[in-house]
Amino acid sequence: MCGIAGQVWHDPARPIDGDLLRRMSGVLRHRGPDDDGFWLGCGVGLAHRRLSIIDLSPRGQQPLANEDGTVRVVFNGEIYGFAALRERLIARGHTFHSESDTEVLVHLWEDEGARMVSHLPGMFALALWDARTRTFFAARDRLGKKPFFYRADGRGLAFASEPRALLLDPEVRAEADTEALGDYLTYGYVPGAASAFRGIRKLPPAHTLCLRDGKLIIERYWTIRHQPRATAPRADLLAELGTLIEDAVRVRMRSDVPLGALLSGGIDSSLVVALMARAGMGRIQTFSIGFEEAAYDESPHAERVARHLGTDHHERIVRPDAAAILPRLVWHHGEPFADSSALPTFMLAEMTRQSVTVALGGDGGDESFAGYDRYLMARVAGWVDVLPRPLRAALARTVTALVPRGAAPKSLPYRAGRFLEVLARMPIRRYAAWIAFFDEEAKRGLCTPAFLETLGGRDALDRLDALVAGSDGATLVERLQDADALMYLPDDLLVKVDIASMAHSLEVRSPLLDHRVVEFAAALPPALKLGGFTKKVALRSLLRGLVPDSVIDRPKMGFGVPIDRWLRSELREFAYDTLLSSRALGRGYFRREAMAQMLDRHVANEKADHFRLWNLLMLELWHREFIDGPISLEPPGGWLR
């Protein structure tokens, strides 16, 4: 895993600032502490930070070139099973000088051009320069595991693995994109091609970017399809799926450095570790995070799986004082990010890196195999939709009134209340209410008129509507899965894992996000994903017999954090001081009385507003780190700068 950066000018006579390029590379050092590399051409410069995983020799140093040096590439990621590609290219007459997967890219470009991406299994963000045609080409993997930020203006284009590197350019000013912040308030992350910074964009997953003769073209090269359906008998489908996942695990076990696995004790990570053990890896090192609060603590389940599979297991407990690392977390994320599980993920990566350099994880199972409770809630709510809407609304009001105030977020009454209070809404907006932090009504209650005006009256949830409408899934649940795979997965979950792992120079590989597995899962009959009240039917079937049934049949917990309690106790003073400070309110985004009311009712246990408060805290800390002052080259210490 690595960090990449570079600049491409429209005018080939315009010199590249080599010192700036080195600073851009330097701020990405955590992504690749083992080596750095630079190449300067006519109006183009490429930089690379290397985390050595495959071919540890200097021959794998990037930027890598083809035989005559006319094509050069910088690459972040891994191409799995690249040896077969390499052999085919050698058979076509290409000469290789390293054992690196990166060198495959320059020769594949020579033969295939932009079509090369369809031959690349893995996770990647790549940037390539072809001097013969003065073409700059970039691509991002199908699911969005690796990031690619860029800025295009009248001079040309600059790119980097993180936005901080782009902000080092003295001609670029760090300004908040208020429309993107409006989306952030809704989703807890900045979705799509926008970034939190005005003028800085993200290349979406499964897209290529081509810059030639001053013209910038961005195109999609892959999408998830549910049709045609797989029609073989159930046993045959499960056998084929099992073979695909086993191969996905096997190819991700190749490493020239120590390798382990992240183990939560849930279905997905348990399956990955069980298949690693079946592949004969030997004694596997596994790593998990726990909490003192039993409702959030999955560590006993992880330990049970570890004992059953005979792994060398490591565990760390997250306590409220772990929030002291928030400034580091904000620094590394680069954009406001409200998924509170980023905190334990960051600590998990730190612990894991002390023992291994590569770890396999279970990301992707929920989106492909219908693992979220909200999918089941959407199905059940659909059954109630046969009732007239006024009757549903009356039923929701009546039953919701019975839910006690201050119910714990993980409790059945709390979940029932969240389900019932939106029962009368249309299906997509009902689902949106379960995932959104602030809908438009909530924003109007919190935000100042001036800030609302900058949002232009746009409904951030229209983005979710469009994704669901664009899916070819036959059922509502499948269309919701697609929407999550296109937005929540790449813009939240995979960002969280990428940032946490790269902050500690750790590579995390996700077998369940192998595009072959994702494609096969999409084509499975819906009942093999969500069957009745059972989620992840196919994965549970594959896991049966590999770990104890108690692991397979237990309710899903999710990777939550007890911030509801923390914000009433250890983090209470910090929340008040930060959100009601003149510094925060002086931005003109939020009304003081609305902010104070939200804090007061949460602390008084009248309403669980912890997710919204965490969203606002992360937004304010992001402003203080990126917008208020000069760009810092090192993560800050302490609470605030």
Q: What tens digit of pLDDT does each residue of 305-351 get? A: 999 999 999 999 887 777 788 999 999 999 999 999 999 999 999 99
Domain count, the chain: 2
C-alpha distances in Å from residue 503, one per residue of 28, 292, 346, 425: 9, 25, 8, 41
pLDDT at 25 over 60: yes
Kindly state whether residue 605 falls inside one of the protein's structural domains.
no
Residues 271 and 213 in one domain: no
Of the three residues 535, 557, 579, the one that is the final residue of a domain is 557
Residues 275 and 396 in one domain: yes
Residues 345 and 262 in one domain: yes
The tokens describing 27, both together, are 């701020």
Residues 327 and 386 in one domain: yes
Residues 64 and 90 in one domain: yes
Of the three residues 183, 204, 220, the one that is the final residue of a domain is 220
For residues 109-127, average pLDDT: 95
Q: What is the CATH number of the domain that holds 412?
A: 3.40.50.620
The backbone torsions φ and ψ at residue 318, rounded to the nearest 5 degrees and listed phi first, read -95, 125
For residues 479-487, average pLDDT: 96
Residues 375 and 492 in one domain: yes
Kindly state whether residue 574 falls inside one of the protein's structural domains.
no
For residues 52-72, average pLDDT: 79
- Provide the pLDDT for residue 214: 92
- Which tens digit of pLDDT belongs to each residue from 351-370? 999 999 999 999 999 999 99
State which H helix or E strand residue 83 sits in: helix 82-91
The tokens describing 518, both together, are 């994702």
How many other C-beta atoms lie within 10 A of the C-beta of residue 283? 10
For residues 124-132, average pLDDT: 97
Residues 399 and 340 in one domain: yes
Kindly state whether residue 597 falls inside one of the protein's structural domains.
no
Contact 1, 51 (CB under 8 A): yes
Residues 517 and 550 in one domain: yes
- Which tens digit of pLDDT belongs to each residue from 421-450? 777 788 888 899 889 999 999 999 999 999
- The mean predicted confidence, pLDDT, of the chain is 91
pLDDT at 60 over 70: no
For residues 48-60, average pLDDT: 70
pLDDT at 640 over 50: no
pLDDT at 59 over 70: no
Kindly state whether residue 17 falls inside one of the protein's structural domains.
yes
Range of the domain at 59: 2-220
Contact 528, 521 (CB under 8 A): no
Residues 150 and 16 in one domain: yes
For residues 501-518, average pLDDT: 96
**Higher pLDDT residue, 407 or 81?**
81
pLDDT at 275 over 90: yes
- Which tens digit of pLDDT belongs to each residue from 488-504? 999 999 999 999 999 99
Residues 148 and 268 in one domain: no
For residues 24-32, average pLDDT: 94
Kindly state whether residue 619 falls inside one of the protein's structural domains.
no
State which H helix or E strand residue 126 sits in: strand 122-130
- Provide the pLDDT for residue 407: 65
Residue 639 — pLDDT band, cuts 50, 70, 90? very low
Query: Taking the complete model, does pTM exceed 0.85, yes or no?
Result: yes
Of the three residues 530, 557, 584, the one that is the final residue of a domain is 557
Residues 295 and 152 in one domain: no
pLDDT at 534 over 90: yes
- Provide the pLDDT for residue 540: 97
Q: In sequence order, which residues have a C-beta less than 8 Å from that of residue 291 and are 6 or more positions away?
A: 297, 299, 317, 318, 344, 561, 562
- Provide the pLDDT for residue 387: 77
**DSSP states along 18-36:** HHHHHHHHHTTGGG-BSEE
Residue 641 — pLDDT band, cuts 50, 70, 90? very low
- Provide the pLDDT for residue 55: 56
Kindly state whether residue 173 falls inside one of the protein's structural domains.
yes
Whether residue 562 is preceded by a cis peptide bond, meaning omega within 30 degrees of 0, is no
Kindly state whether residue 167 falls inside one of the protein's structural domains.
yes
Distance, C-alpha 77 to centroid of its chain: 14
C-alpha distances in Å from residue 321, one per residue of 324, 344, 571, 581: 6, 12, 9, 22
Q: What is the CATH number of the domain that holds 183?
A: 3.60.20.10
Q: Which of 351, 324, 352 is nearest to 570 (CA)?
A: 324
Residues 334 and 415 in one domain: yes
- Which tens digit of pLDDT belongs to each residue from 580-605? 999 999 999 999 999 999 999 999 98
Kindly state whether residue 168 falls inside one of the protein's structural domains.
yes
